[in-house]
């Protein structure tokens, strides 16, 4: 997309990811449905997922100059930590992961992958200790003559969100003209992915209904985070050409507010808690597997898929809707 082109980006992902039609899944969900899966589980680096796109913009080449190490933080099975460690390895940098909590299963899932990707693991007891520990590790690296770049948890920063502006542009191009009203369902937690979609749709003037499905936090918190990140990301885009076809193009911030206000976020599918299985998520996983050959992860995408299926069957989607299910990855959680 033209407005993104001048922004520094380190290519890490295999793009564009495919938009896969899923007709048999659609038939099984509800009659008259049209479902496609945007396969961001296949962004490539370090087993892929949504974090790869975010890191492409978070790790811009100017910010990486002179950097010797990446430092970030997350839980013992963090997808973000896995992909950051993979990015460091790809870029020839060291990686320190501040992990809150000792995994009981360090030889499995993302905990195993953090180690296989060569990251140095520093364990703290509580989430609240992570920021201080990251600063301490950056200081330790500096004292040893290196230079650390601290990547915020989840890369859900305004820069990181630009990765999903890019994804929105891909989907806009991939959706055939004349398809029904487009609804995009995505898992949304720290809000960076949804923020990028909000900004991307505002920028493209693409009339899409966005739905964020929380795997953990209350819907209002997720909605607020996504809105704030989208608004903070909008000024990162260069201004439109002065004599471009759209003299009103600078109402972008207002359009972001409008798209954000229309965006729906639900926390009705969290169940007993983060990472805890629900019946609806298990059924969604079986349906996606058996009717689309698409494997969901149990923590994020299975719950987002459960929401999509429930809303379709409850008649909450308009007739003829084209549903895009954004598969944000997370597969290693299947193997814990
Ligand atoms: C697999 C997967 N899907 C979705 C999300 C949510 O994305 P975001 O934090 O950008 O809202 C995450 C974040 O951890 C994730 O790992």
Asked whether residue 187 is assigned to any structural domain, the reply reads yes
| Helices 158-174/50-58 angle, 10° precision | 120
Last residue of a domain, one of 150, 173, 206: 150
Domain count across the chain: 2
Whole-angstrom Cα distance, residue 55 to residue 95? 14
The pLDDT score that the predictor gives to residue 194 is 98
The pLDDT score that the predictor gives to residue 248 is 55
Q: Locate 239 and state its tokens.
A: 């201004």
Pocket test for ligand 1, best of 187, 215, 295 (most atoms within 8 A of CB): 187
129 and 202 fall within a common domain: no
Whole-angstrom Cα distance, residue 124 to residue 89? 23
| CATH code of the domain containing 117 | 3.40.50.1100
The pLDDT score that the predictor gives to residue 225 is 98
Mean pLDDT, each 10-residue run in order, the chain (336 residues)? 91 98 97 95 98 98 97 97 98 98 89 97 96 98 98 96 98 89 97 98 96 98 98 94 62 96 98 96 98 98 98 95 97 95
Pocket test for ligand 1, best of 53, 190, 266 (most atoms within 8 A of CB): 190
164 and 280 fall within a common domain: yes
Host domain of residue 300: 19-50+156-335
66 and 180 fall within a common domain: no
Q: Rg of the chain's alpha carbons, rounded to an integer?
A: 20
Cis bond leading into 16, ω under 30°? yes
Neighbours of 116 (CB within 10 A): 12
The pLDDT score that the predictor gives to residue 93 is 98
Instruction: For residue 189, report the distance from its CA to the centre of ligand 1, in Å.
Output: 6
The pLDDT score that the predictor gives to residue 245 is 58
Whole-angstrom Cα distance, residue 185 to residue 130? 31
The pLDDT score that the predictor gives to residue 102 is 87
């Amino acid at each position: 997309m033209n407005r993104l082109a001048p922004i520094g980006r380190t290519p890490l992902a295999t793009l564009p990811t495919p938009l896969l039609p899923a007709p048999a899944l659609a038939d099984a969900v509800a009659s008259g449905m049209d479902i496609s899966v945007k396969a961001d589980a296949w962004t490539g680096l370090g087993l892929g997922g949504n974090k790869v796109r975010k890191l492409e913009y978070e790790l811009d080449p100017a910010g990486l100059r002179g950097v010797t190490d990446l430092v970030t933080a997350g839980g013992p099975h963090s997808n973000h930590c896995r992909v950051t460690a993979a990015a460091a390895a790809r870029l020839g940098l060291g990686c320190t992961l501040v992990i809150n909590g000792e995994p009981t299963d360090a030889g499995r899932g993302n905990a195993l992958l953090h180690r296989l990707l060569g990251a140095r693991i520093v364990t703290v007891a509580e989430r609240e200790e992570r920021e201080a520990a990251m600063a301490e590790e950056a200081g330790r690296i500096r004292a040893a003559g290196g230079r650390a770049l601290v990547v915020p948890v989840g890369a859900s920063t305004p820069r990181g969100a630009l990765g999903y502006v890019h994804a929105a542009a891909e989907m806009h191009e991939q959706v055939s003209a004349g398809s029904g009203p487009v609804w995009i369902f995505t898992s949304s937690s720290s809000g960076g992915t949804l923020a990028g979609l909000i900004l991307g749709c505002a920028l493209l003037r693409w009339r899409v209904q966005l739905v964020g499905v929380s795997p953990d936090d209350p819907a209002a918190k997720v909605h607020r985070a996504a809105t704030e990140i989208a608004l903070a990301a909008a000024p990162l885009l260069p201004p439109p050409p002065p004599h471009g076809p759209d003299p009103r193009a600078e109402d972008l911030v207002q359009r972001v507010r409008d798209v954000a206000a229309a965006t729906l976020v639900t926390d009705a599918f969290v169940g007993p808690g983060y990472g805890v299985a629900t019946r609806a998520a298990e059924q969604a996983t079986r349906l996606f597997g058996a009717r689309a050959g698409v494997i969901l992860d149990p923590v994020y995408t299975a719950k987002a898929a459960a929401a999509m299926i429930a809303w379709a069957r409850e008649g909450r989607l308009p007739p003829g809707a084209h549903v895009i299910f954004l598969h944000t990855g997370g597969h290693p959680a299947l193997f814990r």
